[in-house]
Amino acid sequence: MQLLAAKIDRFLETSSWIRRMFEAGIELKRIHGPERVYDFSLGNPDLPPPPEVAAALHELADHLSQPPGLGYMPNAGYPEARERLAESLAREQKTPGLRGRHVVLTCGAAGGINAFFRAVLSPGDEVVCPAPYFVEYGFYADNAGAALKPVPARPGSFELDLDALDQSITADTRIVLVNSPNNPTGAVYSQGVLEGLAEILGRACRRHGRPVFLVSDEPYRFLTYDGVTVPPVLPLVPFSVVIGSFSKNLGLAGERVGYVAVNPEMPGEDRLVAGLVMTNRILGFVNAPAIGQRVMTAALGSEVDAGVYRRRRAVMADVLSQAGITFPMPKGAFYFFPRTPGGMDDTAFVDLLMRQRILAVPGSGFGCPGHFRLTFCVDERVIEASAEGFRSAVAAARAQGAD
Ligand SMILES: Cc1ncc(COP(=O)(O)O)c(C=O)c1O
């Protein structure tokens, strides 16, 4: 008997490797013990929130009987949370005109992307994004009746391929969605590249007589390495929004606090904000969680100890290099996206890794076969202990003909 909508049945099949990894992880940990399984498959930040979060929670608990309590609030979020966040984003985005009224608090960046997509997309519209990409984007576009149109990034560096992006924009393109620092590649787009993209979008808007929005999904903005900075996007084009969250920088992923910040220079920006408030409500989010918003407001400006990620990145780079695996060094976020040895099929190589009790995700799942993703949201010692497994998996791949 058909329980599910046919499309959800299909989605379950096409994303079955996520489930497979998850189930394989549980099984391997049961058999070998959790300390002998090297699980690099999940992007679940493991660092404790900064002390400001605990302090804010205590403060909140001590004053719960005072208004505003934990009841309903305006759908866009607490006015104080919007104002404080806008002050911080105005600096970060070099956009002094950004005010609380331009910011809508959402259930994570995921909720923000869905609210934005629902607000501006109609059936038949396209969302262009560089591949590889965060796999959920395709489902989010579909939620709004639209289609994701991945455009391969430059091989090797995973920089934006501006010519390819330019050529992929049609009269149906409503959004170009970029994510920097990038999941899964760790790429960070430079000012020059983003200016090039802005020019393309400006031309596309004029050509098609309607906005082509630049959407910048930035939950990893705080996490870059070797002095790399993430340029602000709002000054680039008027039809732009920034979507972010506190899942990674405050370690609040389960608390679901994110935002959409609308460019104050956008013609009709208040109408877009009204649309976002509406879609945030009717998608059933209603508002971002009260506790998370209040903790975020109090802890704004603090963050998890990013030095831990820096050390892990160095250790993982060593482990992979010593195994003969090649990769672009991530400039930001907490992912490596190496090539499979000899360009071997990525699912086959991920299977070889699994035989060494190493869990990774095949690049095909991110629209980029021939690669695999490793997350360094795990203790440095686990990364070190996985070295032998990587070497054995590469040797097994070579024995099968990969060189
Ligand atoms: C690129 C990217 N965008 C959005 C999200 C959603 O994050 P959240 O909804 O927790 O803010 C994630 C989560 O891993 C991500 O990697």
CATH number of 68-299: 3.40.640.10
Tell me the pTM. 0.96
To test the ligand 1 pocket, which listed residue (139, 221, 245) has its Cβ within 8 A of the most ligand atoms? 245
What is the mean pLDDT of the segment spanning 38-47?
88
Model pLDDT, residue 125: 98
Instruction: Quote the CA–CA distance of 253 and 15 in Å, as a whole number.
Output: 22
Ligand 1: centre distance to CA 401 (Å): 37
Q: Is the CB of 109 under 6 A from ligand 1?
A: yes
Cα(219) to centroid(ligand 1), Å: 6
Q: Is the CB of 249 under 6 A from ligand 1?
A: no
170: its two tokens: 């049609």
- Nearest partner of 130 among 40, 219, 197, 192, judged by Cα: 197
For the Cβ of 375 lying below 6 angstroms from any atom of ligand 1, the answer is: no
Q: 381 C-alpha to center of ligand 1: Å?
A: 26
For residue range 58-102, list pLDDT tens digits in order.
999 999 988 888 999 999 999 999 999 999 999 999 999 999 999
The answer on pLDDT for 403 being more than 70 is: no
Q: Do 153 and 185 meet the contact criterion of CB atoms below 8 Å apart?
A: yes
Q: Name residues whose C-beta falls within 8 Å of residue 310's C-beta, 6 or more positions apart in sequence.
A: 225
Decide whether any atom of ligand 1 lies within 6 Å of the 179 Cβ.
yes
Domain 6-49+305-399 architecture = Alpha-Beta Complex (3.90)
The atom number, within ligand 1, closest to the CA of 257 reads 11
The average pLDDT across 376-392 equals: 95
Question: Which residue out of 127, 247, 257 has the highest number of ligand 1 atoms within 8 Å of its CB and is therefore the one to mutate?
Answer: 247
Q: State if residue 258 touches ligand 1 by the CB under 6 angstroms criterion.
A: yes
CA 255 / ligand 1 centre spacing (Å) = 13
**Cα 179 to averaged position of ligand 1 atoms, centre (Å):** 10
Contact 247 CB / ligand 1 (< 6 Å): yes
Residue 89 half-sphere exposure toward CB, CA atoms < 13 A:
34
CB half-sphere exposure, 62, CA atoms < 13 A: 6
The number of beta carbons lying within 10 Å of the beta carbon of residue 145 is 13
Question: Regarding beta strands 335-336 and 372-375, do their DSSP bridges make them parallel or antiparallel, or are they unpaired?
Answer: antiparallel
Share of the chain above pLDDT 70, in %: 99
Q: What is the pLDDT of residue 311?
A: 97
Supply the pLDDT for residue 16.
65
Residue where the block lists tokens 């430059």: 154
What number is the average pLDDT over the span 264-268? Answer: 97
Question: In the structure, what pLDDT confidence band is assigned to residue 13 with cuts at 50, 70 and 90?
Answer: confident
Look at strands 173-179 and 361-362 and give their pairing: unpaired
CA 63–ligand 1 middle distance (angstroms): 31
- Asked whether 291 lines ligand 1 (CB < 6 A), one says no
Q: What is the 3-state secondary structure (H, E, C) of the chain?
A: CCCCCHHHHHHHHHCHHHHHHHHHHHHHHHHHCHHHCEECCCCCCCCCCCHHHHHHHHHHHHCCCCCCCCCCCCCCCCHHHHHHHHHHHHHHCCCCCCCHHHEEEECHHHHHHHHHHHHHCCCCCEEEEEECCCCHHHHHHHHCCCEEEEEECCCCCCCCCHHHHHHHCCCCEEEEEEECCCCCCCCCCCHHHHHHHHHHHHHHHHHHCCCCEEEEECCCCCCECCCCCCCCCCCCCCCEEEEEECCCCCCCHHHCCEEEEECCCCCCHHHHHHHHHHHHHHCCCCCCCHHHHHHHHHHCCCCCCHHHHHHHHHHHHHHHHHCCCCCCCCCECCEECCECHHHCCHHHHHHHHHHCCEECEEHHHHCCCCEEEEECCCCHHHHHHCHHHHHHHHHHHHHCCCC
What local confidence, expressed as pLDDT, does residue 62 receive?
A: 94
Residues of the chain with CATH 3.40.640.10: 68-299
- Mean pLDDT to the nearest integer, 259-286: 97
pLDDT at 124 over 90: yes
Q: What are phi and psi of 128, to 5 degrees?
A: -90, 135
What average pLDDT does range 291-299 have in this prediction?
97
**pLDDT, tens digit, 9 for 90 and up, residues 183-226:** 999 999 999 999 999 999 999 999 999 999 999 999 999 999 99
| Ligand 1, pocket-test mutation among 143, 182, 217, most atoms within 8 A of CB | 217
Whether 273 and 102 have beta carbons less than 8 Å apart is answered as: yes
Task: State the span(s) of the chain assigned CATH 3.90.1150.10.
Answer: 6-49+305-399
The protein residue with its alpha carbon nearest to ligand 1, atom 14, reads 43
User: For the purposes of burial, counting CB atoms within 10 Å of the CB of 99, is it exposed (0-12), middle (13-18) or buried (19 or more)?
Assistant: middle
Q: How far is the centre of ligand 1, averaged over its atoms, from the C-alpha of 115 (Å)?
A: 14
Whether ligand 1 lies within 6 angstroms of the CB of 184 is answered as no
The closest-lying atom of ligand 1 relative to the alpha carbon of residue 182 is 1
Confidence of residue 327 (pLDDT cuts 50, 70, 90): very high
Closest listed residue to residue 315, CA positions, set 215, 220, 262, 383:
383
